[in-house]
Structure 1
């Protein structure tokens, strides 16, 4: 089978969500405050369904188990990546994610290293990214006293920025930001602070996970050293944001396509593609498939090469694991 796998998004309501997934991306989303589009996922909390071709109606996690040739016959038990689009109408909780070892012991799933490409950021937007505690004792004391103003690092952010968020990093997207998130396939989040918000459906404050947060936060915080590289090929621009060994679990690329180009898998055996804007085509084995904003697909390992054409803004990723 030599064809791309086009996927149907899954949407999740969030206390901090809004309606931009409808107004900016044209998705037919449910009523309410929709914060997350799970775009490419094999996770049980939001499974992606194939919309085209031989495997139409099947889910990514089932293909991973039953048609492993599509992914280069990998060793892992679960599809390792999860791609989301996030709409932060309000600020997310300040949170941290565990690494693989802690998550396996306590949550029975993968850890969660992730990254963000900022699709849109309103003027004055910022992230919580890291903390100012010098050691574990100071971290615990600042958390227990609620000294959030001194503990949390606020980082200004603008459209087009990229942030790599390894497990153990204190972080939060804040109000007015849309981001494409590439992450390990995990839904484990430890809330450190939630602005004392009350959930409208329960009438109660959302649970915090102070012990788990203190167990997993990296102290002291160190910004990862990224080697972001861009190259111009004709009218097209290709940017590599992260890849192994800096990012052991995934590589992430930004492709700005203006003229036809042939592409191949790079460090992985299959490639995840999300179209952020524009229109064009992907051509596989002489067959054209339409691309437009909001479309998500997997180019499987059974496809050696493909051509992109049109005017396209794409975030692509590959698994860093065998």
Structure 2
């Protein structure tokens, strides 16, 4: 019997992390400052593991390779997406990610376009999002002078906001923000600035990547124009945040469920789902599975439609086949 693939996350310690994921989602965290929950991940730096059904005990990467029919027999050689929850107890480094071409040539992996759904934000929270340089020379001059106040664009943010971060965008989550991130399955980050922090393990400042950052940053910065749309199904609300052609790699929705709601895959044979609030059930082929805040799962290709019931918010994403 084909079931949803429920996943056990992988937790990443970070210099900027904390312990809020434990309190917010009842996760059993390892010791230390935990910055990232790699919730739906087939990346070798943080694989999540299937916890139920016929594929129980397999990593998502193993399942993708051994059972391609669960994913619609995709063309992509590696699982293309990665879902994370980030807890910024302190500010993340100011950074930028490469596109596919640069990443394949220099890092031998996918590029990194990503987006954030803001779960929580302390009063006064803001993002670094974009820059003010008009030319690459101006960008380089300001970076090497450390003229961050002149260079960096700061944007206020609050819970419920959605932010799209294409590759080439200078960005940073700042302290007091928790976000669910949907991204290409890549772990390539180029740091521009890290507040001169000292890593407690190495006793040194973390490595910066100024040349690479300048190479891959889009100049001038242009904020993406999103076409966010809302539709109603019975008493539930479906918010579409991203779809092609605005986003060439993935589509993202929020499902605000209030009572029975039947859904199906929209652009891909399989769907990634994270429960960010509330609880309820998912009903598939006459069988019900309980859902609660903090769960993450994949609805494979063999499941054509499903019914959600309860009061809960979920973030769903699908890969764009390329």
- TM class by smaller structure: over 0.9
Residue matched to 2:111: 111
Question: Match for residue 196 of structure 1?
Answer: 196
Maintained 8 Å contact 2:264/2:305: yes
Partner residue, 2:90? 90
**Distance in 1, Cα, partners of 2:137 & 2:48:** 43
Gap runs ≥5 in structure 1: none
Residue equivalent to 2:268: 268
State whether residues 234 and 261 of structure 2, in contact with CA within 8 Å, keep that contact through their aligned partners in structure 1. no
In the alignment, which residue of structure 1 is the partner of 2:165? 165
Q: How does 1:8-23 map to 2 (within 5 A)?
A: 8-23=8-23
Deviation at 1:2, TM superposition (A): 2.1
- What does 1:221-240 correspond to in 2, within 5 Å? 221-240=221-240
State the 1:300 CA deviation: 0.3
Matched, 1:36 2:36: yes
Q: TM-score, normalised by structure 2?
A: 0.99
**1:60, CA displacement in angstroms?**
0.9
The alpha carbon displacement at 1:321 in A equals 1.7
Pairs within 5 Å for 1:171-250? 171-250=171-250
CA contact (8 A) 1:2 1:284 kept: no
Residue 257 of structure 2 is matched in structure 1 by 257
Deviation per CA, 1:102-126: give whole Å up to 9, x if none. 0000000000000000000010000
Taking only aligned residues, the RMSD between alpha carbons, in angstroms, comes to: 0.7
Q: Deviations over 1:38-73 (max 9, x none)?
A: 000110011111000111001111111111000000
Superposition deviation, residue 233 in structure 1: 2.4
In structure 1, C-alpha distance between the alignment counterparts of 2:287 and 2:123, rounded to whole Å: 42
In structure 1, the partner of 2:286 is: 286
1:138 CA drift (Å): 0.5
After TM superposition, give the deviation of residue 265 of structure 1 in Å. 0.2
Query: Within 2, Cα distance between the matches of 1:308 and 1:232?
Result: 14
Distance 1:233 1:70 in 2: 27
Rounded to whole Å, the distance in 1 between the matches of 2:231 and 2:157 is 23
Q: Distance in 1 between matches of 2:236 and 2:79?
A: 30
Match of 1:73 in 2: 73
Cα deviation 1:104-152 (Å, max 9, x = unaligned): 0000000000000000001000000000000111000000111000100
Q: Within 2, Cα distance between the matches of 1:61 and 1:233? A: 34
8 Å Cα contact 1:2-1:285 kept in structure 2: no
Contact 2:168 2:218 in 1 (8 A): yes
Cα deviation for residue 259 of structure 1 reads: 0.9
Unaligned runs of 5+ in 2: none
Q: With structure 1 as the length reference, what TM-score do the two structures score?
A: 0.99
Corresponding residue for residue 305 of structure 1: 305
The Cα shift of 1:234 comes to 2.5
In structure 2, how many angstroms separate the alpha carbons of the residues matched to 1:16 and 1:181? 16
The separation in 1 between residues aligned to 2:24 and 2:66, in whole angstroms, is 36
Give the distance between the partners of 1:255 and 1:76, measured in 2 at CA: 27
